[in-house]
Amino acid sequence: MKSNEYYISTPDAILKLFKINLSENKAFKDLVYPLVRSKNFLKIKREQMAINSNKSHILISNESLIKIYNAVLLQGFFADTKRIKDIFMSQAKRKESAEFLDLVVSGRQSILAIEIQSKELTSLIAKLRSKEFDLCNEKLPNPFKELPQLSLNGITSVMQTLLAQSALLTQDESMMIHFFNNDLEKAYASSSLLTSNHPTLFAYQTHIKQKYNEAIEFDNLLDNLLK
């Protein structure tokens, strides 16, 4: 172990970074721990709770504190742990996420009880788009006055909040949200009604239609093989 390296418990890390007590916020805790436990994501170690105990504390290296900070902020938009990891690992996924936030979230001051600070959101989107920004070692701006994970009972991300407001969304917003929620059928239905000539939306419309048609062709192939 390096001499300048130390480890901190997960609750202490969240308290230090966000001033939030995990023991008092079960829904938030249930989102944080999958990130912490996720294989090959953070630098962690396990410390046995007591002699002859099978349970252990998960300790996070100080080297990973900025990474968990950024992951928790991104989780406020996208609750899915795999998507968060993909944003850290793939420049293409970072770009996708930035496009989603720019097209669907940017310009909104609030989404239900979630207050969004537009200046910080604009900066966050710009940093996600930048290839030079290091998500593991540089903090993203925090666009939330209160984390979505804490704002609403049972709804823990901006994505889920927008889905709950689906009747109020435009077709382009619906298409993007359903696509990012991995609901290809609903994304395709919205894409078929899209009239915008925005180049990014048109690119997603084309991509979604292609993916949907490929899925239909594959299903038809399976049906024929099983006859």
Go through 13-27 and write b for each residue having 16 or more CB atoms within 10 A of its CB, e for each that does not. Answer: bbeebbebebeebee
Query: CB under 8 Å to 107, separation ≥6 — which residues?
Result: 118
Among candidate residues 56, 64, 84, the one with its CA nearest the CA of residue 149: 84
Longest dimension (CA), the chain: 66
Q: For residue 153, what pLDDT band results from cuts at 50, 70 and 90?
A: low
Residue 160: what pLDDT? 82
Residues across the chain? 227
Query: pLDDT category, 93, cuts 50, 70, 90?
Result: very high
- How many other CB atoms sit within 10 Å of the CB of residue 225? 7
Report angle CA 93, 191, 82 to the nearest 5 degrees.
25
The CA distance from 156 to 106, in Å, is 19
Share of the chain above pLDDT 70, in %: 89
* Contact (Cβ atoms closer than 8 angstroms) between residue 154 and residue 27: yes
Only one residue has tokens 């207050």, namely 115
Confidence of residue 162 (pLDDT cuts 50, 70, 90): confident
pLDDT above 90 covers what percent of the chain? 44
Bridge partner list, 111: 114
Is residue 152 very low, low, confident or very high in pLDDT (cuts 50, 70, 90)? low
Has this prediction a pTM greater than 0.75?
yes
